[in-house]
Amino acid sequence: MDAASGPWVVKEKVCVVTGASGGIGKEVALGLARQGARVVIVSHSKERATKAVDEIVHTSLNPHVDLVVGDLSTNDGVRAAAAEIDRRYGQLHVLVNNSGLLIGKRTITADNLDKTFALNHLAYYHLTHLLLDKIKASAPARIVNTASSAHRLGKMDFDNLQGERRYSQWRAYGTSKLENILFTFELARRLAGTGVTANAVHPGYVRSGFATTASPLMRVVVRAGMVGALSVEKGARTTLWAATSPDLEGVTGKFLARCKIAEPTAAAHDEAAQRRLWELSEHLTSMPAV
């Protein structure tokens, strides 16, 4: 069923997509614009994102594509972006948390956090919570978190969650993707009855720029593996499906891949880990509980 023909229609709805100056995020923003949504791109790079906005407007013929500039790897950056979104838009119907990187060397942010953890997970939690009242008030609404099958490489070692003792770029990335799913499942449980759904998606192995910040050797490995990778157009399909399909109306707390419900690892279903990660994230962002 086409999204525009069902009860869930994104035309004229406000849809925020983070990490949308390129790659999958940009393609998701384009897909939403083509369906007539009012799209808000959130990116740390004003230059790249401005170009992306112009290209999306030109391709979709939808003039309602806006830009919010913000560094989501820091708490202050997330707060600034959320404040601007809150000020500029009366409603928020779809939030796609998509920002993320594979980072070759452990990098510490202004908040004294590992950047992989801060950008790939904590920004999802923080931005969602700052905007949650508006999302609830706009229900029915959807939150879509970009995870990955790479979560199978992750491990929730809360005593070494940010690679303090030993940093591995793949382990850090995989753990952040596992955190995305843990966060999504806990969020969905807490949002029960609000009319807001939360799902995590695996886009697939996509030819995108997510590994440009990886180590030189890893960039070579990633490039070599791109031979059979999906295009960004195909990689965006599951995220767009999660954000727009009427077939998913009311469906929440799921892991989605290839435009269907999939099964993550057993670790993703660990409710104790979900709660502990939630509480840690709340502490690190000084956010009140839902």
Q: Is 167 a catalytic residue?
A: no
Phi-psi region of 253 (alpha: psi -120 to 50; beta: other; left: phi over 0): left
Amino acid 170: pLDDT: 85
Amino acid 104: pLDDT: 78
CA distance 255 to 257: 7
Amino acid 29: pLDDT: 97
> Among residues 89, 124, 125, 173, which one is catalytic?
173
Pairing of strands 255-257, 260-262: antiparallel
**Domain range list for the chain:** 10-204+232-285
Amino acid 6: pLDDT: 45
Q: Where are the alpha helices (DSSP H) in the chain?
A: 23-34, 46-60, 75-88, 115-117, 123-137, 169-190, 216-224, 232-235, 237-244, 271-285
Amino acid 44: pLDDT: 92
Amino acid 288: pLDDT: 58
Coil, helix or strand for 6?
coil
CA distance 203 to 211: 15
CATH of 10-204+232-285, one of 3.10.20.440, 1.20.80.10, 3.40.50.2300, 3.40.50.720: 3.40.50.720
How deeply is 137 buried, as exposed, middle or buried, from its count of CB atoms within 10 A (0-12, 13-18, 19+)?
Answer: middle
Amino acid 214: pLDDT: 53
CA distance 111 to 90: 30
Amino acid 247: pLDDT: 95
pLDDT means per 10 residues, the chain with 290 residues, are: 55 96 93 98 94 97 97 96 98 95 88 95 98 98 95 92 85 94 98 98 66 53 52 84 96 96 97 98 79
Instruction: Give the pair of three-digit tokens for residue 148.
Output: 């990955």
Amino acid 5: pLDDT: 37
Amino acid 213: pLDDT: 55
